[in-house]
Structures are given as structure tokens and as C-alpha cells.
């Protein structure tokens, strides 16, 4: 089991209105089985022990599913490994004496709160604008009353796998939230349960996305490339189709 010594350049910013800067740290003797966030834990414990303030970063489940962790590692959201969140990235993918740059999501709609922590509430508001089926508790028909073909269920699932981390926005040169928004519009457009509100949903969610200040999609595909759940950029095409279809149906 090799030990790693690393140089870290980490974005430190004391608050939303402060000016941030990169600071350099050294960590030594890391176990390669560690996850990337455990490496930051080691650094933070050292900082606490030497009387410094630890680096603030968002994280929770550390299983790649909650979508809370969010950092750009060497210029790539969630780091170098495809289909992997930062919490599931392990240090065996780095080399001894590497210098690693760590910074927050950079996008105007996601302002920095502190260090690597950003505010992603615009995503919540996009869902609130229409990312649901209007069904009150207790009024649902039997689960098998409406058959859903296996392929359709699978397709809906593929879209629903989005963890809402925001890597798509961080990866996009326009800070577009298209992949996030499209995955929810698509999931519900595939399913029979989503049909009654299909048009209204597409129009409202796209409108909210624009109002939050996210940029437009110019089809670079960076979002799909960096998405830790490998959500397909095809859903953006579907979103555009759904949006125009809704406008035509008026």
C-alpha cells in the first residue's frame, strides 16, 4: 500500500461577500485506499490541530447518491474519474508528489457561501416550478392499474438517476442547467403518470431555469461528460422538443 505526499491548492473564501484566493497546503503519508474527501478530512484535522480553520466543503452520504459533494478537482467537476462523485473518488487515482487544485462550482447562479460550499437552491426552485405530478396523498389508483412497459420504466429511471449535484452547471461554459432540468422533464414525460401536466411542466421549468440566471445550452456536451451519473445529453434534445411541443399545443 503506497503512501502519497501531495500539494493541495485550495480555494479559501471566508464568506459570500469576501474575496477568495488559493492557498497551498501539504499533506503527507496518505493511504491510497482513502477517498478524496477522507484526504480532506486528514487535512482538516491537521488544520484544527494547528489552530487553523478547516476547509468548508459540502458532503453527506459519501456513497455517491445524495449529490451534496461538489468540488472542482484539477479543473474537472468531481475530479478525473468518469461517472464518479468526489466522495467516491479514491486516492489510488493520484500519484505521489501530485499538485491538486480544488475549487468550488463556478457559476453565477451558485454563489459561494464559504470555501468550497456553494448555494444550489436554484435547483430546488426549478423542481418547485413543475418537477412533480400533482397527486395528493391518498388519491392514487392501484399501483398496477396503469401498466408501464419495462423499456419505458427503464428510460424514465435513466433520467431520474440525476442526483442534483450541479456538476453539469459547473462543467458548462454557459453555466447552463439544461441537463438537470431536462432529466426531470424527461422522466415525467416518459411515464403515463406525467402526461396530464406534461406541457405546463415543460414550459414552467424552462422558464424558471432561465429566471434563475442559468445560461443557454450550446450543445458542447460537457455536462454529460462530467455528470457523475452519466445522464445523457439526449434528454436536452427531448426537453427542447417537449418545450416546443408544449408551445405549439399552446
Partner 1 sequence: MLESRIPDGQLKDKWTNYKSSVPLVSPSNKRRLDVIVIGTGLAGASAASSMAEMGYNVKTFCFQDSPRRAHSIAAQGGINAAKNYQNDGDSIYRLFYDTIKGGDYRSREANVYRLAEVSASIIDQCVAQGVPFAREYGGTLDNRSFGGVQVSRTFYARGQTGQQLLLGAYSALSRQIAKGGVTMYNRHEMLDIVKIDGKARGVIVRNLMTGEYERHFGHAVVLATGGYGNVFYLSTNAMGSNVTAAWKAYKKGAMFGNPCFTQIHPTCIPVSGDYQSKLTLMSESLRNDGRIWVPKKKGDDRLPRDIPEDERDYYLERRYPAFGNLVPRDVASRAAKERCDEGFGVGSTKLAVYLDFKDAIKRLGQDVVSARYGNLFQMYAKITGDDPYTTPMRIYPAVHYTMGGLWVDYNLMTTVPGLYAIGECNYSDHGANRLGASALMQGLADGYFVLPYTIGEYLSNDIRTPAIPTDHEAFDKAEKNARDQNNRLLNNNGSRSVESFHRDLGHIMWENCGMARNQGGLTKAISEIQSLKKDYWEKVRVPGRDNILNPELEKAGRVADFLELGELMVRDALDRSESCGGHFREESQTEEGEALRDDENYTFSSAWEYKGEATEPIRNKEKLTFDTVHLTQRSYK
Nearest to 12 by CA among 97, 82, 74, 71: 71
> Closest CB to partner 1 among 41 and 224?
41
Quick one: which of 20, 76, 127, 174 contacts partner 1 (CB under 8 A)?
A: 127
Per-position x/- string for 15-34, each x denoting binding to partner 1 as judged by CB under 8 A, each - no binding: x--------------xx-xx
Q: Are 41 and 133 in contact (CB under 8 A)?
A: no
> Closest CB to partner 1 among 54 and 221?
54
- Ramachandran area for residue 124 (φ above 0: left; ψ -120 to 50: alpha; else beta): alpha
Quick one: which of 148, 174, 207, 220 contacts partner 1 (CB under 8 A)?
A: 148
Helix (H) or strand (E) holding 236: helix 234-249
Interface with partner 1 by CB under 8 A: which range of 99-107, 132-140, 211-219, 231-239? Answer: 132-140
- Ramachandran area for residue 41 (φ above 0: left; ψ -120 to 50: alpha; else beta): alpha
How is residue 35 annotated by DSSP? B
Restricted to residues 228-247, the positions that interact with partner 1 (CB under 8 A) are none
Interface with partner 1 by CB under 8 A: which range of 19-27, 36-44, 169-177, 237-245? Answer: 36-44
Q: How wide is the angle at C-alpha 121 spanned by C-alphas 115 and 126, nearest 5°?
A: 145
Quick one: which of 11, 25, 58, 103 contacts partner 1 (CB under 8 A)?
A: 58
The reply on whether position 3 binds partner 1 by CB under 8 A is no
Amino acid at each position: 500500500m503506497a503512501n502519497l505526499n501531495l500539494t493541495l491548492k485550495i480555494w479559501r473564501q471566508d464568506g459570500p461577500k469576501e474575496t477568495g484566493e488559493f492557498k497551498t497546503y501539504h499533506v503527507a503519508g496518505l493511504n491510497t485506499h482513502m477517498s478524496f474527501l477522507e484526504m480532506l478530512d486528514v487535512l482538516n484535522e491537521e488544520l484544527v490541530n494547528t489552530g487553523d480553520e478547516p476547509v468548508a466543503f459540502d458532503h453527506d452520504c459519501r456513497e455517491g447518491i445524495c449529490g451534496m459533494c461538489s468540488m472542482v478537482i484539477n479543473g474537472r467537476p468531481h475530479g478525473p474519474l468518469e461517472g464518479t462523485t468526489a466522495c467516491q473518488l479514491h486516492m489510488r487515482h493520484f500519484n505521489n508528489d501530485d499538485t491538486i487544485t480544488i475549487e468550488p462550482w463556478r457559476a453565477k447562479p451558485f454563489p459561494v457561501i464559504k470555501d468550497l460550499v456553494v448555494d444550489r437552491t436554484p435547483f430546488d426552485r426549478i423542481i418547485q416550478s413543475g418537477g412533480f405530478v400533482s397527486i395528493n396523498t391518498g388519491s392514487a389508483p392501484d399501483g398496477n392499474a396503469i401498466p408501464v412497459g419495462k423499456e419505458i420504466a427503464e428510460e424514465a429511471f435513466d433520467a431520474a438517476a440525476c442526483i442534483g449535484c450541479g456538476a453539469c452547471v459547473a462543467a458548462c461554459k454557459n453555466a447552463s442547467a439544461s441537463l438537470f432540468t431536462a432529466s426531470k422533464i424527461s422522466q415525467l414525460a416518459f411515464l403515463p403518470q406525467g402526461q396530464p401536466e406534461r406541457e405546463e411542466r415543460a414550459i414552467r421549468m424552462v422558464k424558471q431555469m432561465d429566471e434563475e440566471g442559468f445560461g443557454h445550452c450550446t450543445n458542447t456536451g460537457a455536462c454529460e461528460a462530467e455528470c457523475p451519473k452519466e445522464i445523457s445529453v439526449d434528454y436536452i434534445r427531448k426537453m427542447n422538443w417537449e418545450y416546443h411541443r408544449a408551445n405549439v399545443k399552446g
